[in-house]
Amino acid sequence: MSTQPVDQRVGRDEVHPLIKWMRNNRRVLTSAGFLFLMLIAFVIASPDVFTQFRTYRSVMIALPVSIFVVIPLVFVVTAGEIDLSFPAVVGMASYGFAAIVDAGGNPLLGIFAALAIGVVLGYLNGILVVHIGLSALVATLGMNFLLRGLINITVEGFSIAMPELRGTLVHSLMTDDPILGIPNQMLWATAFAILGLFLYNYHRFGIHVHCVGDHPGSAAEMGVNVARTRIMVFVFTGIGAALAGVFSVMINFVWWPTTGDGLLLPVLAGLFVGGTPTWGGIGTVLGGAFGVTIVSFIETGVIAAGLTGFFTQFFYGLIIIVSLIGQRFNGARVR
Amino acid sequence: MSDYIIELKNITKSFGNVNAVEGVSLQIKPGEVVGLIGDNGAGKSTLIKILSGVHPPDKGEIFVRGEKVSHWNAARSRLSGIETVYQDRALVIQQSITRNIFMGREIQRRFGFVDTKKQRQEANRLMRDIGFTSKVFDPDSPVATLSGGERQGVAIARALYFDAELIILDEPTTALSLTETRKVFSFIENVRARGKSIIFIGHNIYHVYDVAERFIVLDRGKIVLTSDKTEVSSAEYLIETMHDIAETGHAEIHA
Ligand SMILES: Nc1ncnc2c1ncn2[C@@H]1O[C@H](COP(=O)(O)OP(=O)(O)OP(=O)(O)O)[C@@H](O)[C@H]1O
Ligand SMILES: [Mg+2]
């Protein structure tokens, strides 16, 4: 509404639908474009490695673990929160799984146990942040140490090997590769990402997550249950971390007391490289998946290019900064 | 069935040391337009946020159509037919116009999924109804791209959409041009003609005097005056009374 009759104004109308679509999806397009350019660069730098399917296959073995955590983290950050406890939740949930399998239990039962642990720990994070009012950053960081400490106290450094998983139906459903040699875990992770995409954009939960992260006061005034929405994003992260933990153990046949620890930095980097900004209210689920894919390829690319592992960190940093600069062109926070 | 859409009895609400609302009782009848006036900080917004379920009262009772309600909250108040245009507009500006209009009351399909296509069509129609042209305004564009007055238009359109029994407008005309203000008034007439109730909060007493048929004056959290328009001869008279209240803390209507 304005003092001038609106229909006589020009300038904001008549954009082509494709341009509009690109504008609305510019964050995910940026990360997809970045992934594409990076792969081209790798193909040019080491064609004999990056034209081989097994290079991609090897990345697809462990990448799903990151995807299971990054998708719910997109929800968390969109809601204006953060969860740094996911590495230890991965560890705890997969410990539940491993303990049950090790004791001769059904792996399916182990999966349910892992999910239950994820839900409970996520809920606990939610209570600490939402009802007790602790800072999400500090509280979940504390939980990460606390849970990892509990694991170490309990197992005293021992890992659990589960060769008995091999050949079980659950294991082959989760990790075989009957379709074009693509590991099943990649298909599960893709399905999870698509589910996340629909939840995020078309489900009341995802829409409320956007509103709460954008302006919690406004959301509350319009009747959105802000507290419940905020707790649910932590529960969702717990679920994602549990799935990540189970897949990680299924892939390796071993549970280590450190399982999940290595995820912290690559997953956070992937999340932000993927185009979800830090301030809340907006984000992209597919971008998050692309982001962790970018990060996963860096190590492979560096080694394939004949550089030593020492370069990996340097390239992590470089690619994070460069892609964040790319995302910066998608705009700063509006107020 | 009660005579009132909503009734407050002895409502008290404080924030720390500030007693924003103290022992307020009021009733809203179907089809009436009530003007709620008072100085800055008198507690008007707090009072209507209690009505709309945003703030739980510290003390007192709320009756909706004669029935006492407990655990009153914003979602419930909207479901029982109360829509509010808040002073702060209650918008989420990084989200689309459509998402803002349906925030908290999404059109749902199965399993909690939202019918985004239907919402978009409805938003488009609604924006056109209130004078946005679809050429300029796309229901997908974020509210951040709109001007202050346009944003206010979205907030008002949203209150209109759900066909409420009671619409609460907290300073709906601040930041609006004359033409837009006139639009808001014709909208109020429209709502009144359909037999719905309105609570109108405003600092422009002339505006309030024109639209309302009953006035409630709030001062430092208490109702100091309730009177029908028939008891108030003119807007000037109402302004005079407000001055008295500011000085003495109470008021009488002199015949
Ligand atoms: N969320 C809050 N937290 C703390 N104090 C508050 C809050 N909301 C209102 N107050 C205080 O309560 C009192 C009444 O505020 P309220 O917003 O209801 O006044 P108002 O009559 O709407 O004023 P205005 O005409 O300026 O909008 C003020 O002293 C205000 O500072
Ligand atoms: Mg106010």
Complex confidence, ipTM: 0.93
- Residue A5: pLDDT band with limits 50, 70, 90: very low
pLDDT at B219: 92
pLDDT higher than threshold 50 for residue B255: no
Which CATH number is B39's domain given?
3.40.50.300
How far away, in angstroms, is B191 Cα from ligand 1 center? 28
- Residue A178: pLDDT band with limits 50, 70, 90: confident
pLDDT at B1: 54
Highest mean pLDDT among A24-28, A72-76, A179-183 belongs to: A72-76
In a domain, B119, yes or no: yes
Which of A1-15, A35-49, B39-53, B155-169 has the weakest average pLDDT? A1-15
The domain total for chain A is 1
- Residue A254: pLDDT band with limits 50, 70, 90: very high
* Contacts across the A-B interface (CB distance below 8 Å): 124
pLDDT at B254: 55
In a domain, A19, yes or no: no
Distance CA B240, CA B243 (A): 5
pLDDT, average across residues A299-305: 81
pLDDT at B7: 95
Identify the residue among B84, B103, B126, B179 best suited for mutation to test binding to A, counting A beta carbons within 10 A and taking the highest: B103
Contacts of B159 in chain A (CB under 8 A): none
Distance CA A174, CA A168 (A): 10
In a domain, A77, yes or no: yes
pLDDT, average across residues B67-81: 95
Distance CA A58, CA A183 (A): 9
pLDDT at B191: 86
Contact A3 B77 (CB under 8 A): no
pLDDT at B132: 67
* Average pLDDT value for chain B: 90
In a domain, B253, yes or no: no
pLDDT, average across residues B36-56: 95
Mind listing the pLDDT tens digit for each residue in A9-52? 444 556 788 888 888 889 999 999 999 999 999 999 889 889 99
In a domain, B254, yes or no: no
Task: Convert chain A into a string of H (helix), E (strand) and C (coil).
Answer: CCCCCHHHCCCCCCCCHHHHHHHHCHHHHHHHHHHHHHHHHHHHHCHHHHCCHHHHHHHHHHHHHHHHHHHHHHHHHHCCCCCCCHHHHHHHHHHHHHHHHHCCCCHHHHHHHHHHHHHHHHHHHHHHHHHCCCCHHHHHHHHHHHHHHHHHHHHCCCCEECHHHCCCHHHHHHHCCCCCCCCHHHHHHHHHHHHHHHHHHHEHHHHHHHHHHHCHHHHHHCCCCHHHHHHHHHHHHHHHHHHHHHHHHHHHCEECCCCCHHHHHHHHHHHHHCCCCCCCCCCCHHHHHHHHHHHHHHHHHHHHCCCCCHHHHHHHHHHHHHHHHHHHCCCCCCC
**Residues of the domain holding B73:** 6-46+55-244
In a domain, B249, yes or no: no
pLDDT at B226: 92
pLDDT at A13: 53
- Pocket lining for ligand 1, CB < 6 angstroms: B 15, 18, 20, 38, 40-46, 87
- CB-based contact (8 Å) between A154 and chain B? no
% of chain A at pLDDT higher than 70: 96
The ligand 1 atom at the shortest distance from the C-alpha of residue B44 is 21
- Residue B240: pLDDT band with limits 50, 70, 90: confident
pLDDT, average across residues A204-233: 98
Contacts of A22 in chain B (CB under 8 A): none
In a domain, A2, yes or no: no
- CB-based contact (8 Å) between A27 and chain B? no
The domain total for chain B is 1
- The maximal CA–CA distance of chain B, rounded, in angstroms, is 61
Highest mean pLDDT among A93-97, A180-184, A306-310 belongs to: A93-97
pLDDT at B114: 97
Which of A3-12, B82-91, B209-218 has the weakest average pLDDT? A3-12
Mind listing the pLDDT tens digit for each residue in B117-149? 999 999 988 888 777 655 567 888 899 988 888
Distance CA B120, CA A258 (A): 48
Which CATH number is A152's domain given?
1.10.3470
pLDDT, average across residues B176-196: 85
**Residues of the domain holding A69:** 30-41+49-324
In a domain, A86, yes or no: yes
pLDDT higher than threshold 80 for residue B41: yes
Residues in chain A, total: 335
pTM metric for this prediction: 0.93
Of B92, B112, B132, the CB nearest to A203: B112
pLDDT at A2: 39
pLDDT higher than threshold 80 for residue A270: yes
* Average pLDDT value for chain A: 91
pLDDT higher than threshold 50 for residue A6: no
